[in-house]
């Protein structure tokens, strides 16, 4: 399948694996890239620029195909060494970067000078237009269904994607609720040039995370996610568990007076406990409503091959047949 996204990034299929904390290691990125999609290493999971350098080199030993690095810009009292991460990405010859969080304008000149293609994650049309204005090459449009941070506008992809198509000149991919060939065809019908998957890639044999996480995704339905941190205007969609129940209860009790410190134990530093140790009630971890569409744990290769076959069948048989009818 040829789209503006496959052309931009030099990939076979218009499928991107988004950056995921303590999931986007070299194994994950290489598996997706080897299967014809675009794998992404999560930069901040590596903690230091030198850690990221080692992870990039490890990934290069696993695949010769294109892969990228995610760099998320978060407000922080002691921010990560962002200049160091940017320098490492450029020095290591990475040509694709997925940015997320705050506006990446401050790093764009460095990436542009180095010939790096930037795709920025956005949860609204206005943010997407801003990303286009500062020189991003593409946008990942995140609907309200998505795992992680869906923004504060609560607009689902059936509205957000065609609105993005009306406003943007640069290509964009659909993110949030993406799981299979139906997702890909629907996203493209709404104006996207491909799709970004996070939660679905977690439930694969190649994902370097604990089996308990994969089992939880298969067992979950579309009703099993919760929105937390709304009073803090830092909304996050997570899979419900005992840790999340504590957060929800604190939010009910404290209302708009809640502070981040009140939920620190259930939010900060829980990813290693969950993703590495399989402690499923340790706290909040990002998960999309798409969990309801996850019924098995294939290899990444099997998943992408199945998605593309299903998409081809829908376009060539069902939709073309409807036209003839």
Q: Among 211, 238, 103, 109, which residue's Cα sits nearest to residue 247?
A: 238
Q: Report CA torsion sign: 285, 286, 288, 289.
A: positive
What does the block give as tokens for 262? Answer: 């009140």
CB 193 within 8 A of CB 3: yes
Specify the pLDDT at position 150.
Answer: 97
At residue 122's C-alpha, the angle toward residues 130 and 286, to 5°, is: 155
The string of pLDDT tens digits covering residues 214-259 is 999 999 999 999 999 999 999 999 999 999 999 999 999 999 999 9
Q: Among 72, 58, 13, which residue's Cα sits nearest to residue 311?
A: 13
Specify the pLDDT at position 325.
Answer: 60
What is the DSSP pairing of strand 138-142 with strand 117-122? Answer: parallel
- What does the domain layout of the chain look like in residue ranges? 4-208
Superfamily of domain 4-208: Aldolase class I (3.20.20.70)
CA pair distance 266, 84, nearest whole angstrom:
30
Query: In whole angstroms, how large is the CA radius of gyration of the chain?
Result: 19
CA pair distance 289, 233, nearest whole angstrom:
20
Maximum CA pair distance of the chain?
62
Q: pLDDT below 50 — which residues of the chain?
A: none
The string of pLDDT tens digits covering residues 188-210 is 999 999 999 999 999 999 999 99
**How many other C-beta atoms lie within 10 A of the C-beta of residue 44?**
21
Contacts of 72 (CB under 8 A, 6+ apart): 19, 42, 43, 44, 99, 100, 101
Specify the pLDDT at position 324.
Answer: 74
Strand partners, 239: 225
The residue to which tokens 């923004």 are assigned: 151
pTM: 0.96
**What is each CA distance from 286 to 128, 232, 283, in whole angstroms?**
22, 17, 10
């Amino acid at each position: 399948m040829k789209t503006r996204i496959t052309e931009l990034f030099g990939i076979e299929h218009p499928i991107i694996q988004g950056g995921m904390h303590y999931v986007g290691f070299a194994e994950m990125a290489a598996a997706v890239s080897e299967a014809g999609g675009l794998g992404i290493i999560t930069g901040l999971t590596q903690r230091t620029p030198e850690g990221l350098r080692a992870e990039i080199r490890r990934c290069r030993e696993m695949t010769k195909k294109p892969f990228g690095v995610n760099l998320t810009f978060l407000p922080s009292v002691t921010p990560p060494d962002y200049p160091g991460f940017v320098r490492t990405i450029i020095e290591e010859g990475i040509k694709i970067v997925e940015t997320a969080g705050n506006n990446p304008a401050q790093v764009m000149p460095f990436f542009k000078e180095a010939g790096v293609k930037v795709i920025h994650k956005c949860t609204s049309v206005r943010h997407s237009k801003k990303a286009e204005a500062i020189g991003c090459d593409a946008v990942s449009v995140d609907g309200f269904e998505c795992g992680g941070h869906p923004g504060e506008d609560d607009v689902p992809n059936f509205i957000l994607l065609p609105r993005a198509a009306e406003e943007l000149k640069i290509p964009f991919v659909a993110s949030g609720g993406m799981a299979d060939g139906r997702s890909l065809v629907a996203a493209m019908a709404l104006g996207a040039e491909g799709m970004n998957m996070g939660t679905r890639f977690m439930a694969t044999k190649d994902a370097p995370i604990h089996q308990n996480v994969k089992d939880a995704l298969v067992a979950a339905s579309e009703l099993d996610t919760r929105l937390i941190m709304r009073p803090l205007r830092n909304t996050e969609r997570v899979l419900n568990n005992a840790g999340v129940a504590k957060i929800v209860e604190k939010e009910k009790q404290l209302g708009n007076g809640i502070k981040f410190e009140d939920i620190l134990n259930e939010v900060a530093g829980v990813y290693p406990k969950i993703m590495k140790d399989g402690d499923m009630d340790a706290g909040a971890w990002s998960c999309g409503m798409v969990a309801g569409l996850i019924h098995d744990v294939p290899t990444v290769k099997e998943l992408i091959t199945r998605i593309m076959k299903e998409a081809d069948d829908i376009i060539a048989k069902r939709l073309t047949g409807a036209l003839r009818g």
